[in-house]
Amino acid sequence: DSGVTQTPKHLITATGQRVTLRCSPRSGDLSVYWYQQSLDQGLQFLIQYYNGEERAKGNILERFSAQQFPDLHSELNLSSLELGDSALYFCASSVDDSSTDTQYFGPGTRLTVL
Amino acid sequence: ILNVEQSPQSLHVQEGDSTNFTCSFPSSNFYALHWYRWETAKSPEALFVMTLNGDEKKKGRISATLNTKEGYSYLYIKGSQPEDSATYLCASSGGSYIPTFGRGTSLIVHP
């Protein structure tokens, strides 16, 4: 158990819908990262937040948005869902915002868009 | 090399064999290299973070080396055990701090 929690574990929804994935980092960690793992792609970095502020942005679609709240938990919002958004979404956390920090991954949320 | 590449894609070995695999990454503007172990139905688990050319890290039977000038890292497993079966991922970060992951090497250790 990494100490990072993600909810829900599984999510099944329809195209065009909007969902919110939630992540709670390890106690004391200030950075949260979101990743997408789809069948035909490797692990893709989406976005990083550090202490409430966006720190780095990867290949995140405009239909996706994220935020980190004062209690440091983070939410990833996915809207106007398409079949291709079906994937495993991981959240990871680290102590600081350096790329040399060890990242601890949560168990993931499996999103299925029908 | 524009992307992070890992080879081989998959590897089958017998229990007790030693094995190694490669991660190639862009050598320009390099900042850090991470190795992860990812077991089926679990989440990636950090093994090593490496930053300096010539770095060597070790954890039990697993070790890694780093060559930032030529842009590669090797992961070695000595005396493989069935519980070492997993996908081993590497990720490289440049100056933008955005990690780029390889597709991983899937290791299966047969008893």
Spatial neighbors of B44 by CB under 8 A, at least 6 apart, are A43, A90, A92, A105, B36, B37, B38, B89
Nearest CA in chain A to B104: A42
* A49-59 confidence digits (pLDDT tens): 999 999 999 98
A91, A23 in Cβ contact below 8 A? yes
List CB contacts (< 8 A) between A89 and chain B. none
Regarding predicted confidence, which is higher, B81 or B97?
Answer: B81
Give A57's contacts in chain B (Cβ within 8 Å): 98
What residues 68-107 of chain B have any CB closer than 8 A to a CB of chain A? 89, 91, 93, 96-104
CA–CA separation, A58 vs A72, rounded Å?
Answer: 20
Degrees, nearest 5: CA angle B100-B51-A31: 60
- CA dist., res. A49 & res. A67, Å (int): 7
Q: Which residue has the tokens 């697993």?
A: B62
Interface test with B, best of A59, A99, A102 (most B CBs within 10 A): A99
Give the pLDDT mean for B41-50: 93
Q: In what order do the strands lie in the sheet with B5-7?
A: B5-7, B19-24, B72-77, B62-67, B56-59
Query: What are the pLDDT digits (tens) for A40-99?
Result: 788 999 999 999 999 999 989 999 999 999 999 999 999 999 999 999 999 999 998 888
| Of A13, A6, A7, A38, residue with least CA distance to A105 | A6
DSSP run (H or E) holding A102: none
- The answer on pLDDT for B1 being more than 60 is no
Q: Which of B3, B36, B43 to mutate to test the interface with A (most CBs of A within 10 A)?
A: B43
Which pLDDT belongs to residue B96?
67
CA-to-CA dists, residue B107 to A11, A13, A106, B8, B92, angstroms: 30, 34, 22, 9, 21
* Residue B34 in tokens: 């991470």
pLDDT band per the 50, 70, 90 thresholds, residue B8: very high
Q: In this complex, do B89 and A43 lie within 8 Å of one another by their Cβ atoms? A: yes
Chain B CB within 8 Å of residue A101 CB? yes
**Mutation for testing the B interface, residue in A31, A38, A43, A50 having most B CBs under 10 Å:** A43
Instruction: Annotate A37-103 with DSSP letters as a single string.
Output: E-TTS-EEEEEEEETTEEEEE-S--TTEEEEE-TTS-EEEEE-S--GGG-EEEEEEEESSS-TTSPP
pLDDT of residue A2: 85
Residue with tokens 């077991």: B39
pLDDT class of B28 with cuts at 50, 70, 90: confident
What is the average pLDDT across B73-100? 91
| Residue-level pLDDT at A82 | 96
